[in-house]
Amino acid sequence: MKTFISILLALISFNIQAQTDSAKTLLWQITGPGITTPSYLYGTIHLMCPDDIVVNTELRAKFYSTKQLYLELDMDDPSILMKTMQQMTMKNDTTLKQLLPPKQYDSVVSAFQNISGLPLTMMQKMKPQLIESAIYPKLLGCDGAQAWEQKFMQMAKANDMEIKGLEEVEDQLKIFDEIPYKAQAEEFAESVLHIDSVKKSFNKMLDLYKQKDLDALSKMMDETGTPSDFMDMLLNNRNKKWIPEIIEQAKLKPTFFAVGAAHLGNTNGVINLLRQKGYTVTPVFY
């Protein structure tokens, strides 16, 4: 499972097998029964340099042809920060120090401080994979890291579009209670202590994302050997829960759905699941 969850947190995670249509695009049109005006599906990445987040004329036109924006979470919810903070700590007063051998723990504390500039001792009770997210801005090589979600929110607000979420933050973060804390701690330690390797993989993932090459990203992620139960928790089960809401909202009004690109492809991805329900999902090149 080496580096899989790490890349997921930055997304991030692409375990996309046999990308639909072998199309080099991140934008897909949704039409079908009950949909009077097309909706759109976009595969995001949750961390990039601001200069790399470019909305060209075609993407902008498709976005503004819709009436509402759906993200994985309603990032416009004023209570989301409080809800997130409530879900960040491990259960039963578990600490990172308890999950790692003493010598390894000391090395991780030092390395994390050097990478992030943050004291790991102040984050003892946080779920390890959430702590790991702190190292990714440092890998980008630029200031002010942004997410595509932020850009789309700015565009939506400029056009008075409503912003909603496909799931609650509690549902998203409880996944990190289901993945064993020890496995998370070991993954976190591996990433921090081998940061050069992580940076190399991270930059490769970013380059492939910029090329919109989901097939190549699939091949890259196939090498991680991710356990199927983890894949179900992180991606597949969530995809299945989203489908009824995506269909309902697309019928109500043209909607722009922007979710992590990991959720788009493979048999259990959003594209294929929508097609199984009788909807047409076609690539849009931009």
List, for residues 201-242, the tens digit of each pLDDT value.
899 989 989 999 876 766 676 666 667 777 788 888 999 999
Residue for token pair 């909807």: 279
pLDDT on residue 261: 87
Specify the DSSP element, H or E, that contains 165.
strand 162-165
CB burial class (10 A; 0-12, 13-18, 19+) of residue 144?
A: exposed
- Asked whether 28 and 214 are in contact (CB, 8 A), the reply is no
Contacts of 215 (CB under 8 A, 6+ apart): 16, 18, 19, 22
Mean pLDDT of the chain: 88
- Asked whether 110 and 120 are in contact (CB, 8 A), the reply is no
Task: Determine the Cα–Cα distance for residues 186 and 5; give it in Å rounded to an integer.
Answer: 11
Beta bridge partners of 39: 30
Specify the DSSP element, H or E, that contains 108.
helix 102-116
- Using alpha carbons, list the distances in angstroms from residue 120 to 69, 95, 114, 134, 188: 36, 11, 10, 10, 12
pLDDT on residue 105: 98
pLDDT digit string (tens) for 156-181? 999 999 999 999 999 889 899 999 99
Spans of the chain, pLDDT less than 50: 1-20
Crossing angle (nearest 10°) for helices 181-193 and 102-116: 60
- Does the model's pTM come out above 0.95? no
